[in-house]
Amino acid sequence: AQSVTQLGSHVSVSEGALVLLRCNYSSSVPPYLFWYVQYPNQGLQLLLKYTTGATLVKGINGFEAEFKKSETSFHLTKPSAHMSDAAEYFCAVRKPRSNTGNQFYFGTGTSLTVIP
Protein backbone atom coordinates (compact mmCIF):
# COMPACT_ATOMS: atom_id res chain seq x y z
CA ALA A 1 0.00 0.00 0.00
CA GLN A 2 1.08 3.52 -0.72
CA SER A 3 0.95 6.29 1.86
CA VAL A 4 2.41 9.72 2.38
CA THR A 5 3.21 11.56 5.59
CA GLN A 6 3.82 15.27 5.62
CA LEU A 7 5.37 16.42 8.89
CA GLY A 8 4.07 19.78 9.97
CA SER A 9 0.64 20.88 8.84
CA HIS A 10 1.72 24.51 9.16
CA VAL A 11 5.13 26.01 8.45
CA SER A 12 6.05 29.69 8.80
CA VAL A 13 9.21 31.23 7.41
CA SER A 14 10.46 34.76 7.01
CA GLU A 15 10.77 36.22 3.54
CA GLY A 16 14.22 35.32 2.21
CA ALA A 17 14.65 32.37 4.55
CA LEU A 18 15.03 28.72 3.61
CA VAL A 19 11.86 26.76 2.98
CA LEU A 20 11.85 23.09 4.01
CA LEU A 21 8.69 21.02 3.72
CA ARG A 22 8.98 17.40 4.76
CA CYS A 23 7.53 14.34 3.06
CA ASN A 24 8.00 10.69 3.86
CA TYR A 25 6.41 7.87 1.96
CA SER A 26 5.62 4.24 2.40
CA SER A 27 5.59 2.05 -0.66
CA SER A 28 6.17 -1.57 -1.52
CA VAL A 29 8.17 -0.49 -4.55
CA PRO A 30 10.09 2.71 -5.29
CA PRO A 31 7.30 5.02 -6.35
CA TYR A 32 7.04 8.06 -8.49
CA LEU A 33 7.00 11.14 -6.24
CA PHE A 34 5.43 14.53 -6.76
CA TRP A 35 5.01 17.89 -5.09
CA TYR A 36 1.95 19.98 -5.89
CA VAL A 37 1.05 23.51 -4.81
CA GLN A 38 -2.50 24.75 -4.27
CA TYR A 39 -3.37 28.41 -4.02
CA PRO A 40 -6.68 29.44 -2.44
CA ASN A 41 -9.70 28.45 -4.48
CA GLN A 42 -7.56 26.85 -7.16
CA GLY A 43 -6.65 23.36 -8.29
CA LEU A 44 -3.31 21.69 -7.84
CA GLN A 45 -0.27 22.73 -9.84
CA LEU A 46 2.71 20.44 -10.29
CA LEU A 47 5.92 21.83 -8.79
CA LEU A 48 8.21 18.92 -9.56
CA LYS A 49 8.36 15.15 -9.88
CA TYR A 50 10.77 12.29 -9.44
CA THR A 51 10.40 9.21 -11.60
CA THR A 52 13.84 7.78 -12.29
CA GLY A 53 17.39 9.01 -12.70
CA ALA A 54 18.91 11.92 -10.82
CA THR A 55 17.62 12.00 -7.27
CA LEU A 56 17.78 15.79 -6.99
CA VAL A 57 15.02 17.28 -9.06
CA LYS A 58 14.40 20.91 -9.81
CA GLY A 59 10.98 22.35 -10.33
CA ILE A 60 9.25 25.61 -11.00
CA ASN A 61 9.54 28.78 -8.93
CA GLY A 62 12.97 27.82 -7.57
CA PHE A 63 11.83 24.71 -5.70
CA GLU A 64 13.74 21.48 -5.62
CA ALA A 65 13.45 18.11 -3.89
CA GLU A 66 15.73 15.18 -3.25
CA PHE A 67 14.65 11.56 -3.33
CA LYS A 68 16.38 9.63 -0.56
CA LYS A 69 15.50 5.97 -0.83
CA SER A 70 17.27 5.01 2.40
CA GLU A 71 15.18 7.54 4.31
CA THR A 72 12.02 7.08 2.21
CA SER A 73 11.87 10.84 1.97
CA PHE A 74 11.23 13.48 -0.66
CA HIS A 75 11.60 16.81 1.12
CA LEU A 76 10.86 20.05 -0.73
CA THR A 77 13.21 23.00 -0.39
CA LYS A 78 13.66 26.53 -1.66
CA PRO A 79 16.70 28.61 -0.69
CA SER A 80 14.87 31.91 -0.31
CA ALA A 81 11.16 32.26 0.40
CA HIS A 82 9.07 34.79 -1.44
CA MET A 83 5.72 36.18 -0.37
CA SER A 84 4.12 34.54 -3.40
CA ASP A 85 5.14 31.10 -2.08
CA ALA A 86 2.43 31.23 0.57
CA ALA A 87 0.12 28.34 -0.31
CA GLU A 88 -0.78 24.75 0.52
CA TYR A 89 1.74 22.13 -0.56
CA PHE A 90 0.97 18.48 -1.15
CA CYS A 91 3.33 15.56 -1.54
CA ALA A 92 2.02 12.63 -3.58
CA VAL A 93 3.15 9.18 -4.63
CA ARG A 94 2.16 6.93 -7.46
CA LYS A 95 3.05 3.37 -8.31
CA PRO A 96 5.23 3.17 -11.39
CA ARG A 97 3.93 1.23 -14.35
CA SER A 98 1.11 -0.39 -12.43
CA ASN A 99 -1.90 -1.95 -14.06
CA THR A 100 -3.82 -2.08 -10.82
CA GLY A 101 -3.19 1.30 -9.38
CA ASN A 102 -1.69 4.33 -10.95
CA GLN A 103 -3.75 6.68 -8.88
CA PHE A 104 -2.05 9.31 -6.77
CA TYR A 105 -1.91 9.09 -2.99
CA PHE A 106 -1.65 12.50 -1.38
CA GLY A 107 -0.42 13.65 1.98
CA THR A 108 -2.58 15.86 4.17
CA GLY A 109 -0.74 18.97 3.05
CA THR A 110 1.46 21.66 4.60
CA SER A 111 0.31 25.24 4.73
CA LEU A 112 3.23 27.60 4.15
CA THR A 113 3.08 31.12 5.56
CA VAL A 114 5.72 33.65 4.55
CA ILE A 115 6.28 36.47 7.03
CA PRO A 116 7.38 39.83 5.60
Partner 1 sequence: DAGVTQSPTHLIKTRGQQVTLRCSPKSGHDTVSWYQQALGQGPQFIFQYYEEEERQRGNFPDRFSGHQFPNYSSELNVNALLLGDSALYLCASRGGSGAYNEQFFGPGTRLTVL
Residues near partner 1 (CB under 8 A): 4, 9, 32, 36, 41-46, 49, 51, 90, 92, 96-97, 100-109
Closest separation in Å from C-beta 8 to partner 1: 14
State the nearest-atom distance from the C-beta of 36 to partner 1, in Å: 8
Q: Which is nearer to partner 1, 20 or 46 (CB)?
A: 46
3-state helix, strand, coil in the chain (%, to 5): 10, 50, 40
The minimum distance between CB 60 and partner 1, in angstroms, equals 12
Q: What's the closest the beta carbon of residue 104 comes to partner 1, in angstroms?
A: 7
Q: Buried (b) or exposed (e) across 25-62, using 16+ Cβ within 10 A?
A: bebeebbbbbbbbeeeeeebeebbbbeeeeeebebeee
Q: Residue 12 or residue 102: which is nearer to partner 1 going by CB? A: 102
What is the amino acid identity at position 31?
Answer: P
Q: Is the CB of 17 or the CB of 111 nearer to partner 1?
A: 111
Residue (62 or 109) nearer to partner 1, CB: 109
Range 65-93 burial, b when 16+ CB lie within 10 A, else e = bebeeeeebbbbebeebeeebbbbbbbbb
